[in-house]
Amino acid sequence: MTDHELAEFEETLAARAFDVEKLLQSLLDERLRTGEIARPPRLLAAMRHGVLNGGKRLRPFLVAEAAALFGHEGHEARLVAAALECVHSYSLVHDDLPAMDDDDLRRGQPTVHKAFDEATAILAGDGLLTFAFDLIAGDPAYESGPDTLSPTQRLDLIRGLAVAAGFGGMVGGQALDLEAERVKPDERGIITLQAMKTGALIRFACEAGAIVAGASVADRERLAEFGSAIGLAFQLADDLLDLTADAAAMGKATGKDAEAGKATLPALHGMEWTRRQLAGLVAQAHELLEPYGERAETLKRAASFVAERRR
């Protein structure tokens, strides 16, 4: 991607991010829904702080684009996309806690436990995770217009999210990451760790779009594979950025991994190898989208962006 193409894609992403944030803002306001007893204002504020923090919103973007690939442009994809962002955000809120990575800043802003307190950050994360399942289960209060998702589609989404985010996916990856501080994993260990910690949810974001759009099982699997490729690329690019970018561009501390002697693939194989790997993953991702022709143009650009982004 040229600098111009990167900037252009970032603009597209930012416009979509704005849309997701508006939706999350309205979902996490003070209005009570059926069955709720009260919405404690401070907890809700902490949840909004954790989720409305100017992230790239890559996962919601992937959900919406994968759904659009199969002709779905409805409200349902937006709600599922918002749910995935809640899960991603909760994982960051918990990951930043003193007992975990102990980060004070996230995208240039104080982390939730810094802006509020540790207990509130734990609960805000718990609340965001729980809310994600609520969103996908579907509630008439969230819907505008007719519901095009069948109960079976919703259950597929819930099961897929729970597996991707759970102990066999994202949470398990975090646990392996903790252990990696004590015993350095080998190459295979690093790959497993990253496939779980960041890969599983990105993979599922792409698959989720296909599920929302009612795509065939073969198309669902193809999109999931696409998601795996860009998930791996995302992590490699992240590791590379940690080595090369400056803290101001990233809005968080950099060079932490190298300083901590953290086992990453770039640390193991060097930058040149990493750049070649990234190019290979982008090529693979593009190839997986070949059957969809021009309609897949935005998703292809997303794959390139993930690998070539500078922050």
Closer Cβ to a copy of itself, 110 or 251, answer by number: 110
Number of other CB atoms surrounding residue 183 within 10 Å? 9
137: contact with a copy of itself by CB under 8 A: yes
Supply the minimum distance, in Å, between the C-beta of residue 136 and a copy of itself: 8
Task: Report the DSSP beta bridge partners of residue 109.
Answer: 106
Of 108, 166, 270, 280, the residue at the interface with a copy of itself (CB under 8 A) is: 166
Q: Which of 7, 178, 260, 283 binds a copy of itself (CB under 8 A)?
A: 178
Q: How far apart are CA 283 and CA 233, in angstroms?
A: 11
Residue 94 touches a copy of itself, criterion: CB under 8 A = yes
CA-to-CA distance for 251 and 234, rounded, in angstroms?
17
Query: 1, 6, 44, 279: which one contacts a copy of itself (CB under 8 A)?
Result: 44
- And the tokens for 114? 């810094």
Q: Which x/- pattern, by CB under 8 A, does the window 23-42 give for a copy of itself?
A: ---------xxxxxxxxx-x
| Out of 66, 196, 288, 302, the residue judged to bind a copy of itself by CB under 8 A | 196
> What pairs with residue 129 in β-bridges?
none
DSSP string, 179-225: HHHHS---HHHHHHHHIIIIIHHHHHHHHHHHHHTT--HHHHHHHHH
The rounded Cα 26 to chain-centroid distance in angstroms is 20
d(CA 103, CA 82): 24
Stretch that binds a copy of itself, among 66-74, 152-160, 250-258, 265-273 (CB under 8 A): 152-160
List contacts with a copy of itself (CB under 8 A).
32-40, 42-44, 47, 90, 94, 97, 99-100, 117-120, 122-123, 125-127, 129-131, 133-134, 137-139, 150-152, 154-155, 158-169, 171-176, 178-179, 192, 195-196, 200
